[in-house]
A and B are shown apart, each in its own frame.
Chain A
Amino acid sequence: MLGLDKKDFRLLIVVMALTMFAPFFLNPFPEGSGLAQFNAGYPDLMQRFVIFGIFAIGFNILFGLTGYLSFGHAAFLGVGSYGAMWMMKLVTLNVIPAIIMAVIVAGIFAVMVGYVSLRRSGIYFSILTLAFAQMSYALAYSVLTPITGGETGLQIKPTDRPILSNLQEGEIGRANLFGLDMRTSFELNAGDWLFTFNTGYYIAAVIMLIAFYVSIRIFRSPFGTMLRAVKSNQTRMYYTGLNARPYTLAAFVISGMYAGLAGGLLVAMDTQVGPERMFWTASGEVVLMTILGGVGTLIGPVLGAGASKYMENFLSKINKDILHEWFAIMPDGIEDFLVAIVYPFVGKGWHLTLGIIFMAVVIFLPGGLVEGGQRIARLFGRKKASEDETRGKTTPAE
C-alpha cells in the first residue's frame, strides 16, 4: 500500500492513529484530579511533539543512515524559521507559503554548509557543522540584526502589512491557513475530561505524517541502502566505483530541509523567532532526542522527541509545593529530606534529569526506546519478536 510493504504500512497507520487521536490519549486523567499534572494534551505541547518529531526524523536520515553526526542542525531550523517569518511579515499570513519558504531557505543553506563540511568526516565533520551553526547564531545575534531582529528576534507587529492580506487598520496579523486561524481550538467536554482539538496541531500532525512517510520511503529505497553503505564502509564503496559525496550531500540537504520544515512550522504556530533557536544546545537537543528514541530506526526519533519534550515540560513545572504534596504521606522529617533530594532534579534543574536519563540510555540501551520496546516484546513473545527482528530490524549505531 502506498509503495510500502505490509509492516511499514502498519507502522504508518499506527503513527497516524497516534497523532490523530493524540488529544484523547494524551489526556488520560480527568481535569482537576491529582493525576491531571501528568496530562500532556495541551495544544502547545502537542504541537512541539510533532514539530520536534519532524526535526528528529530529518536528523535521523543523516545520522541514522550515514553515521555523520552533525552538531549544528539547529542552524537549519533557525534559518528556516527566519525565512518563514519574513514570508509572513511581507507576503502573506497563510502558513503554506511560509513553510515552503522555510524549506527552500534551509535547503539552500544546507547545500552550502554540507558542501563544505562533508569534505571531512568523523569528529571533524561534527566540529565543522558546529562551527557553522555557532557562526550563524553569533551573526544572527549581532551583525544581522536588521534581518534577524537580534536578541529580541522577530514577531508579527501591528505595523506589518503583508501584501496578500486584507488586514484592517491596526489589526495584528495572525497566522492562518486559508482564513482558518492556527489558534482556533475545538473543545470537547466528556464528563470530567476536557479534550482540546487545535487547528495548528492538526496541520502540524498532517505534515509530520507526510514527513514520516517520506522518511520510510527513503529508508527503504536504493538511495537509503546507499546511505547505509556510506555508514558501514565508505572505503569499500569507493573501491566499487561509487562516489559517496553526492549521496551524503543529498542526505545532508534532505535532513536540513526537514529541519527547515520544523522551523517553518514553529513559526506558523507561535509567529516568533529568536536566535537562541540556533544555539548549539538546540543542536544537541535533537541529537539527544534521536538517541533517546533509537538511532536509525523509523519510529525512534518521533518517540524520542515526544519523550524528551514531555519530560522537559513535566519536570520543569514541578516546584517545591508539588513535591511536598507528593511526599505528604511520609512523616515530616522524611518528607523534607525526600523533597530536598528530589528538588535539584526538577524545576529549573530538569536538564540534570534529562542528562542522567540520556546517559543511562546510551550506556544500557544503545538502541534507545525502540530497543527497550523490542526487549520487552522479546520477554513476552519470544518467537514473534525474533521474527520481527530479522525483518524489521534497523541498524542501531554501530
Chain B
Amino acid sequence: MEAIILQILNGLDKGSAYALIALGLTLIFGTLGVVNFAHGALFMIGAFCAVTLNRILTLSHPVIDETRTDFLGNPMQVDVPYVYDIFGQATGDVIIDWSVPLAILFTIPVMILIGIVMERGLIKHFYKRPHADQILVPFGLAVKYFYGANPIPTPAPDAIRGSLDMGVILGFEAGQIIYPYWRIIYFMFAALVIGAVFAFLQFTTFGMVVRAGMADRETVGLLGINIDRRFTIMFGLAAAVAGLAGVMYAPITSPNYHMGMDFLVLSFVVVVVGGMGSLPGAVLAGFVLGILESFASMREVLEILPGLNQIIIFLVAIIILLTRPRGLMGRKGVMED
C-alpha cells in the first residue's frame, strides 16, 4: 500500500509537468490548429528564466571589507550583490533564496511576449498551409535550441528544501513515504495553473469568445469579433503555461538545453493520448502517463519486465491510438486527414 501511494506521489510531479505542457499544446492546437513542435523549447526557456533571474539577483560588485583580512593581512575584497545595497543584507538574502518562486512573476510577461512574437512573426503564415508544413516550421524552431551546455543547478528556497513524511499524515509508519516539499508545491502549483486556465476559459467573456472560436472560427469572425487577435493572446497564454511549468521544474531537474527536447516528445504523446484538441483529455493523460511511468520504474516491475520504465509511455500511446483512434477524450474529425 505504502509503495503504491509513493509511486502515485512520484508520478504526480512529472505528470504535472506533462499535463501543463500538454495543456499549452492543446490550447494552441485547439485555437489555431497548429501543432507546436517548439513547445518543449518554451518549457526550456521557462526554466532558463529561473536561471536568469537567479543570475540577475546575484549580480554583485566587489567591495573592500575592512573588518576582514586575507592571509597577507590586507583588507579582503568581497562580492556584494546589488540586492544587498537596495534592500539590505537580510532582505537581500531572502530574495536571493526565493529566486525561483519570484521567477514566476518574471516569467509570465516574458513568455507571453515570446509567444505573441512567435505567433505573429512566424506561425500566422501557416494557417492556410497543409498540416505537414505546420508541423515542420515549429520543428525548425525547435531544432534551433538543440545545442548543449552543462546543467545549471537552481535550488529551491531553503525553507522548503526538505522533505515531508507523508506516511505519518496518512496514518502509516513514519519513514515509509517521504516526499520533498517542492514536489508537493509543484503539484499544487500545476493544479492551480490548470484550474486558472479552465476558469479563464469557462467564466470570462474573453474565454467564452475563445471557446466559441474553437468551435466555429468563421462564424465568430462574421459576428464582428477579432478572433485572430484573441487567438494570438491565447498563444501567448499557452507559452506562459509552458514557461511556468519550466520555471517551477528548475529545482527538480537542473535546467539544460536538452530538457525541452526530452519533454517535447513525451508531451506530444500525451496530447495525442488525451485526444487532439481536448483540454481535459490533455490534463488527464498527463497525470495518467506520469503515474504509469512512475509505476513502471518500481523495482518489482523492472525485475519482471526490464526496461519498461523507458518505453511505457510509448507503449501506452501505441495501444491507445490503435484501440481509441481519437485518444481518450478526442473530438471527431480533428486532424484525421
- Residues of chain A having any CB pair with chain B under 8 Å: 67, 69, 116, 119-124, 126-128, 130-132, 134-135, 138-139, 141-144, 280-281, 284, 287-288, 291, 348-352, 354-356, 358-359, 362-363, 366, 397-398
Contact = CB atoms under 8 A, between A and B. Distances in A.
Task: Classify the secondary structure of B's interface with A.
Answer: helix
Contacts of A127: 268-269, 272, 317, 321
- Leading 3 A-B pairs by shortest Cβ distance: A143-B307, A355-B144, A138-B310
A366 B307 contact: no
B135 interface: yes
A381 B310 CA distance: 57
B311 A358 contact: no
Contacts of A122: 131, 335-337
Task: Classify the secondary structure of A's interface with B.
Answer: helix
Given A69-B135, A366-B133, A139 B310 contact: yes
A258 B276 CA distance: 32
Interface string B43-76: 0000000000000000000000000000000000
6 contacts: A123-B272, A127-B272, A349-B147, A351-B144, A352-B147, A363-B122
Nearest to B37: A284
A355 B140 contact: yes
Contacts of A132: 314, 318
Interface in B142-172: 142-148
Given A351-B144, A362-B136, A397-B133, A128 B311 contact: no
Contacts of B310: 135, 138-139, 141-143
Interface string B250-287: 00000000000100010011001000100000000000
Nearest to B308: A143
B322 A119 contact: yes
Given A139-B311, A352-B147, A123 B318 contact: no
Contacts of A141: 310
A287 to B, nearest CB: 7
B148 A348 contact: yes
Given A127-B321, A142-B307, A352 B144 contact: yes
Given A116-B318, A130-B268, A287-B136, A123 B143 contact: no
A130 B265 contact: yes
Nearest to B266: A134
A138 B317 CA distance: 15
Given A69-B132, A284-B143, A348-B148, A359 B321 contact: no
Contacts of A138: 307, 310-311, 314
